[in-house]
Amino acid sequence: MPTTSVRPLIGRSEEISHLRALVAAAEQGDGGVLVLRGEPGIGKSTLLDHVEHAAREKLQIIRASGSEFEAELPFAALHQLCVPALAHLDTLSAPYRDSLMVAFGLAEGTPDPFRVGLAALELLAAAAAGRPLLCVVDDAHWVDSASARALTFLARRIAAEPIAIVFAARDQVPVRGLDELPGLTVDGLSDTDARALLAREKITTLDERVRDRLLAESRGNPLALIELPKSGGFALPTPSPVPGRIERSFQVRMAALPPDARLLVILASADPTGDPALVRAAAQRLDIDVPAASAAAEASGLVVFDTRARFCHPLARSGAYRAAEPTLRRTAHRALADATDPVAAPDRQAWHRAQATTGPDEQVAVQLESSASRAQARGGVAAAAAFLRRAAALSGDPGKQVERTLAAARTTLETGGADAAADLLGSIDTETLDDPRHAAVDMLRGQIAFVHGADGVVRGPELIVRAARRLAAVDPERSREYLVAALDMGLVVGRAAGVMDRVLEAARSAPPAARQPDLLDALVRLNADGHRVAVPMVRQALTGEDAGWTRRPALATVLAGELWDMDLHTTIVDWLVRTGRETGAPMTIRLGLGQAALHAVLTGHFGQAMAAIAEEEAIADALGDLPQLYPRVHLAAMRGRRQEVLDLFAEATSRGTGLLTANLSWAKAVLDNGLADYPAALDAARKAVASGDLFLAGFALPELVESAVRCGEDAVARSALESLLERTDAAGTDLALGVASGARALVSDAEDDYLEALDHLTGRSLPSHLARAHLRYGEWLRRAGRRRDAREHLRIAYEQASKIGLEAFAQRAAGELRATGEVARSRSEHTYDHLTMQEMHIARQVATGATTKEVATNLFLSPRTVDAHLRNIFRKLGVTSRRQLRDIPDLG
């Protein structure tokens, strides 16, 4: 625990050097983070004490710690860290202030998952404005998941702030997010340093052989070196893990305490808050002589009761709790529950009551359900799952137990705990369930199977189809919804190709829709009868008065692509982005931004695509998730960036999802056609078409036609053209008809088809397709010996492709121009050639009048970081003001 003076550390010069550098940087205004990792007792907390002591004169110190017994209470650790800075709360804008108040339970509402981390960053930045700040977080492996996400978010964004953050965590306990931060492993002391520590601590042993045994068994663990001789733990006949033996040494000390002191220590170990007033009140309920008991407990060195009840080490606390007999633990929790304010801390009271209960208790189960609702409203999904699991265990009524177990499984799955959710479902006796509940179990098992991987591609749809069949008679509308959910889920997870056939086969015998046609009817007809018959029904299902696509937006986006309808696609994407921003739903906004980027790539607006990609990546980072790769792959392919595409392919291949694989093949076909590597394009296009995925397979067909013609594979080209025409003739949009005419021209070698393609695409806001149409016609004219006519179209193709950024196709056009005797003019560079995606997004927002704070909010950065990016943007573009950015065409 922190002390007023800190003795020099033995054998920790490297660790101290890193910590001093971190503090020195913060003093100069440069933030940084370091995660100390190591086994229990290795000295992480001692290093935290050391850096606190060293920084105290020049930095403000804020300390927080994780708690094993608070690991599921949302934002508990973040609240600890922010409490000393809450005086600055009123300096935050209303949305940030409200987000923190809701997250900390100080106001009603649901916290915006994106705003909490940024609000905490702004709060700490405000606190650090007058004096640099050092944030110390001990026992970070026990930090609740909501706090861990927010703290990781903070740590990644403090580079421009005078803030240093140091975490200490056990090395064998992964913490999502923290593992990706800069870290330093704290190893055991060397033999020389271990002997020096024994000498300084005046640890005496019987003889040199016993000392050597102690040194060998402690493996350089400082706490083991100090504690094991006190209990004889070093002399066990067989080796055992050092942390466990240290914990037992603390238990030996506890066992020697008088009964009242021992019970007081158990109370302190069972209370996650460390509130001495609460522990005292609970002790009084147990008729403990508090002054005498606390004096005895403190004399043992296990715990100190001052402003907080503080154990000498986390292992002391866990050791005290685990050493207590179950009846004493329940007694302690019951007393703590009675002493806890039910208005100020209802969730902790419910938790204590649950720990004090052994058998079914409906009253406690209802309390836990209420706690779960509050936790979920505050964004604490993991806490909600924990409360629901305990509520189910304490349920006396079998029906309520099933409902609570299902709710716990759903919530656990939301946290990413697929295996834990499966275990919960396994505890349900399905033989006794009615059809709706049995269907709910099957549905959840299907969702879990999808998450689990390759085997789930088959198993998942089968389970969801089984759930739909159970509901067919009792709830036909939900039965159909389950079937559509299976398709939608396949798209989100990226495994649609194998899902569709199995689900649509089951859908043929599904109960009829209340309002026809719905999406399921349209997809069944498309699968059975093809595009010419089904496209009108698909269009009606998407655009009718009660289309309902907002319930399945992922499916709607690919169906809009299947209709070759970019206007409808825009409508759906705009709704996704707008709704995602309004509701804060991460899946919605990320799907919308990914599709917005794809739309911008397909329509030749690469700056817009980069901005959307940057924002989606910022949200993914804020959530601690991987960003979507398919928009970046398509952008790089369209730009003709071979090495960038190969690097992205390597990353994407490691993820191994089906839909992403189909995206890779389509993108590679575009890239290789642009680079005139037609055999490679043919191979990639064949794979993309063979996937059968909605949207992707259809858009890959023109690439297959072109590459097959160039390779002399006439039969392949004709077959692909036939498939393409079935889709495009039925769709009837200018994009569809223009692309189809261009592909037909390659096969027919007829000039009218080339001209028809130009006619459909000219003036339709489809510049990339128009540039390629001019290129193909120009190439045909040159081969026909009409060099003058060819130059005109090749020149247009080169200029348009260069303006858009279709670098490979521009080079193809330039090569064809040279063959006609004309040299293409050097193209002017694009703004996005000089900027990163994040910088492009910032520049575009600033150019349209956004303030620094508005940009910071959208990209989850601090205002100081945005200003730092702006300075880089000004330097790269050779401008000196925001006003000048507005005059740059690429940023409009």
DSSP secondary structure string, 487-550? HHHHHHHT-HHHHHHHHHHHHTTSPPPSSSS-HHHHHHHHHHH-HHHHHHHHHHHHHSTT--GG
* Structure tokens belonging to residue 228: 């094991």
| Per-residue model confidence as pLDDT tens digits over 71-110 | 667 788 899 999 999 999 999 888 889 889 988 878 877 7
| Per-residue model confidence as pLDDT tens digits over 798-837 | 999 999 999 999 999 999 999 998 887 876 677 777 888 8
Q: What is the DSSP string of 639-697?
A: TT-HHHHHHHHHHHHHH--HHHHHHHHHHHHHHHHHTT-HHHHHHHHHHHHHT--TTHH
Of 119-128, 444-453, 590-599, 863-872, the range with the lowest mean pLDDT is: 444-453
Residue 234, pLDDT > 50, answer no
Residue 625, pLDDT > 80, answer no
Average pLDDT over residues 676-691: 94
Q: Of 692 and 697, which is predicted with more confidence?
A: 697
Residue 17: CB atoms within 10 Å: 10
DSSP state of 836: -
The pLDDT assigned to 261 comes to 94
| Per-residue model confidence as pLDDT tens digits over 376-403 | 776 667 778 888 889 999 998 899 999 9
- Rounded to whole angstroms, the Cα distance separating 183 from 2 reads 22
Helix ranges (DSSP H) in 732-862: 734-748, 751-761, 767-783, 787-804, 807-819, 837-847, 852-859
Residue 236, pLDDT > 50, answer no
Average pLDDT over residues 448-457: 66
Buried b (16+ CB within 10 A) or exposed e, 245-280: bbbbbbbebbeebeebbbbbbbbbbbbbbbbbebbb
The pLDDT assigned to 200 comes to 84
* Structure tokens belonging to residue 170: 């056990």
pTM of the model: 0.76
Cis omega before residue 889 (within 30°)?
no
Number of H helices, E strands in the chain: 45, 7
Q: What is the DSSP string of 272-327?
A: SS--HHHHHHHHHHTT--HHHHHHHHHHTTSEEESSSEEESSHHHHHHHHHHS-HH
List the one residue out of 519, 797, 796, 496 whose CA is nearest residue 657. Answer: 496
CA-based max dimension of the chain: 107
- Rounded to whole angstroms, the Cα distance separating 796 from 788 reads 13
Residues β-bridged to residue 36: 168, 184
Q: Say if CB 255 and CB 263 are below 8 A apart.
A: no
Residue 829: CB atoms within 10 Å: 11
The pLDDT assigned to 238 comes to 38
Residue 149, pLDDT > 80, answer yes
- Rounded to whole angstroms, the Cα distance separating 425 from 422 reads 5
Residue 51, pLDDT > 70, answer yes
Q: Of 200 and 733, which is predicted with more confidence?
A: 733
Residue 454, pLDDT > 60, answer no
Q: Which amino acid is at 472?
A: A
Average pLDDT over residues 320-336: 92
Task: Let me know if 655 is exposed, middle or buried by CB neighbors in 10 A (0-12, 13-18, 19+).
Answer: exposed
Helix (H) or strand (E) holding 442: helix 435-452
